[in-house]
Structure 1
Amino acid sequence: MHQRELNDLALMTLIRKVDSHKGSHGSVAVIGGNVGMLGAALLCGRAALAAGTGKVWIDALDDRLAVDPFAPELMIRSADTDLHEASALAVGMGMGQDPLAHAALERIFTYSNKPSVFDADALNMIAVNDEFRLKIASRELKAILTPHPAEAGRLLGCSAEEVQKDRLDAAKQIAVQYNSITLLKGHHTVIMHPNGGYLINRTGGPELAVAGQGDILSGVISALLAQGFSAFDAASWAAHIHGLAGNLYTKKMNGSIGLTASMTVALVSQMLNQLLVDKSKQVLSKRILH
């Protein structure tokens, strides 16, 4: 294994041209949101917008909600909608594991050339289905898998405690077995490539240990994928940005209690813009020195 660093060149591609339009920044389809869990898909979609993608669809398994009143920009449609127009897919947020969810996930595998992030119940269904395991490993484009320790344990057939004993090795095993970029959540999130390249994210803290933050992270990942990032760069920068959003909250509030996933959306946008300003200044400074 070999440790990698954040790719600043990838981040700089997010700087917008004056003549850009919504089609210039890609589009995301979020597939999930079963009965009683639509909020997870909506949070993911809101985060994707906050991280700069031009358009977001919510392909909801429970499509009774016509509009998200807090983010009317999100376009809600049924989960069986054609996905060819989407630049990237976010799969599994509030998806459930019923027959409807199973059928939706099976259909997603026909879009193996779409940059995609799989989270939550999508991971749980993949873990127990040999056909799904094979399909995720043989995708045309490597997927991003974002398990927390318990989900990682299911993917590996072991306990969460065993995963936590050697997080780097667990991430490597998942990455190799599933031929996917693996983002193992937790204190010092690990991002692992099947070739052994890895990055350990050191931003963020306990303020992010609340429901819905995984949906926010997946939204940021999908937005970066839609804007042209490689899978490894998208996972790495998303973890970094999401963590910085948490750090900003803790600094503002003098403590880590009370951050909700909904509140994190605006912080993601703030930190992403601040990163671009800071990196641009660094580039300009280097040019002046040389």
Structure 2
Amino acid sequence: MAAISLNHPAVESYIVYSAILALKLLAMALLTAFSRITRGVYANPEDAKMSKGKVKFDDQVVERVRRGHLNDLENIPAFWVLGALYLTTNPAAAWATLLFRAFTAGRVLHTIVYCVVPLPQPARAFAFFVPYLVNMYMGWQIVLYYITAFTSDPVWKSFMVHSSVLAVKVLVMAPLTARYRYKKKVFANPEDIALGGGKGMLKYDDPDVERVRRAHLNDLENIPVFWVLGALYLTTDPSPNLAVWLFRTFTVGRILHTIVMAVRPVRQPARAIAYQVSNTVTWFMGIKVIMHYFSAL
């Protein structure tokens, strides 16, 4: 693992672009609120009463912004993790900076052409895939660099490898959702119908698409927690063998969860077991961290 200095140009670039992306993510909440207020539609009765609007859950403008926000949540946290781990592989500063810059520009453009001034496809597709490929590239490079994690310095390197695999796994859920949308010709945006050859329809409740989206959301509810608790758990000086097996078990559990839920659905309790195995790992690490640092309370 390469030593990291805060004065290194690539590290400074990562910090700047990560901060920009964090502010961009926060701005999406304001954009959603602006859309609700200007259209007079709200999700909660108290908000509607205060602004003399109405409760409505399917306003197309508001839902478009919310989908843009969710798309950020599906991609930007993965960049924060992969970008930080990528720096430990000692990349060329100019190349790393270019990757960070391309990712940030792509995410900003994605929001503009999706939520601010919607443009016909493939504008949004291009804006999505540039950052997406940056994330996939960094993830692949990290795995290749730390492929010897299980024989040399196993704990930290194992965490890096499994964190990268999980980040890539989260990213793969987007193409899986797209696959079902195009297979069944059901889309969430009018411009996507044109990209699909003009055949299809707007539909927001297709059971197969929604199943994949629920699996994707389940990843977002669990994997970032693993990144945080896993890193904190390593500061407690755990048994190397135990730590490696915990990381490995969590990763396998999350992959199996997606397979039995979204790829080839299997009847319960298959999904429950896959979920609970990973969930138990994160609970165990969280409790160990609290016990180790309890005196700080």
Report the TM-score when normalising by structure 1.
Answer: 0.25
Higher strand share: 1
Report the TM-score when normalising by structure 2.
Answer: 0.25
Larger radius of gyration: 2
Higher helix share: 2
